Structure 1
Amino acid sequence: MYPAGFKGRAQRLTDIDVARVGRVIRLGEDEVRAVMEVETLGGGFDKQGRPKNLFEPHRFWIELGAGPKRTAAAEQGLAYPKWGARPYPAESYTRLALAMRIDTSAALRSCSWGLGQILGSNHKAAGYPTVGDMVAAFCDSEQAQLAAMIAFIEAEGLDDDLRRHDWSGFARGYNGPGYATHGYHTRLRDAYAKWQAIPDVLEPSYPKIGRGSRNAAVTVAQSRLLALGFDPRGVDGIFGSDTDAATRAFQKSVGLKDDGIIGPLTWAALIKEMDT
C-alpha cells in the first residue's frame, strides 16, 4: 500500500535510467525525454516529494457509476460527466483526499500519476495488478514511474508511433482524440527537437562496437561481460574472437539476437543486468 501522505523514498531519476529503460523497447533517449517533458516537465514529484498527480472529476464520475456515491461526489464538485466542465485547481491532492472518503480505489483510479501521468485505471497496462501497487511504487522512485510509462506505451502499441516520430498518432493513443486541442502533438515534436540537440548519455561513451573495435568502450563492455559470468578472456580494449563469443553468449542469454554487435539494445541489457 502507498505510504501515508503519499510520501515515500521519492528517489530521483538518473540520466542513465532514461537511456537504459527506453532502449529496452528500442526507444531513444530523445523520444522518452520528449514525452516526459510534455507530461510533467521531466519531473515526477511535486515540491513535497509526492508523485505529481492530476485528479480528474470526469473520470471519477465514470469510476463511481450511478448511485449514492456519485451523487455525493457531484454535490461536492468532485465528479461531473464531461471533461472541461470546470477548471482544475493548481493542486490535486486536496480533492483526492475528499474523493478517497467516498471511494478510495475509484479516487486513485481517477488520477493521472507520475512522470508519464499514467491514469490510475491503466495500472495493469503499466505493469501493476492494482492501482494501490502502482501508486506505492510511484511514491518510491521516478525510475518506477518511467518504467511504468514505457510499459504502458508498449502495451498500447504506441512505441512504433514514437520510433516513426508520428506525433499525432502517439498523441491520439496516449492522450485521447482531443489531443490536438491542446497542441499535444506539436509540443511533443518541439520537445523532441530540443533533446535532439543535446548529446545522449549513452553516446559517445557507449558506441556501437564489434569484432575489430579497439577503444575504451570495449574495455567497459569486457568488464561488464566478465562480471556477469561471460568471460571475454581478457579486459584489454580489443574486441577479438573471445569477446565476440562472450558477447554472443550474453545476447542469447537475455533473448537478443546473438550477432556479436554491442549496440543500443545490448548496451541497455548489459547495464540492466549489472543493476539487478
Structure 2
Amino acid sequence: MIAADLGALAAEVAREAGELARRRRSEGVALAATKSTIADIVTEADREVEHLIRERVRAERPDDGFLGEETGAERSSSGCTWVVDPIDGTVNYAYGIPGYSVSIAVVEGEPDPERWQGVAAAVCAPALGELFTAVRGEGAWLDGTRLAVTTETPAGALLGTGFGYDPSTHDGDLATVRRAMAMARDVRRMGSAAIDLAYLAAGRLDGFFERGLKPWDFAAGALLVEEAGGAVTRLDPSAARPMLVAGGPEIHRRLCELISDRRG
C-alpha cells in the first residue's frame, strides 16, 4: 500500500473513531481508571475507541504493528506501525471541553520516535468538526486547504504548551515557560498536544513546547508540522521526560535556544 493509501485509511479510521468518541461523550462519560497519577484518567471511551481503531487496522493491514496508549505494542512484520492516541485530551473530554482529538500516525521503521519515519497522519477533533491530515511528501491539509506554519512573528510568537500530571514536575515546567516568554506574544495551554501541533501546522500557533509527551501524543502532529514546513525536535530524547519543541524553522531554532538555556 502506497503512502497516499495509508493516509486515506488513517483519515477514514480517525473520522470513524472521532465520531464514536463524540457519541460516547454525548451519552455521558464513565471513568475507567487512573494511570500515572489520580489526575491522569482513562475513560471507558478511550478503551472503546482504541479497540475500534485496532480492529479496523487489523482488518485492512494485518501485518502492520500497533502502538496504542491504552493497549500497548504489537510488533510489525510489514515495516509499518500505527501509533495511536484514541482520545488525546482525556481530561478535556471528561469535563465536556471540546479540545480533544483522535490521533493516528503510520510510521516506518522501529517503533521508536528517534528511529522511525512518519508516513501518514490524521488528527480528528470531532467536537470541533475538523480533520487534519498529512502524507509524507504531499503536505498537510485541512478540508482541502494546504497548511503552512507561521514564518514571521513581528509581534512575538503565540506559543502552545502543556504540563505533566505529576505535581512534582510543575515547577520545572513553569520555569520553562518563563524562559520561552522572552519570545512570546502569549501562551496557550489547550490540553491536547495533537491539537496543539495541528494548530501549529495550520498557523494558529507559532510554536509549541512540552516536556514528557509519549510517542502517541505527538507522532501524528509531528508529521503535520513537518509537512506544513516546520521542524520538530526532541531536545533530550534519552531523558525520562523528553522535551518536544516545534515551530517554523526560525521560531523552532529560537525556542530550542531559550528552552535549553538553564540559567533562567
TM-score range, shorter chain: under 0.3
Which structure has greater strand proportion? 2
Larger radius of gyration: 1
After TM superposition, the score normalised by the length of structure 1 is 0.26
Which structure has greater helix proportion? 1
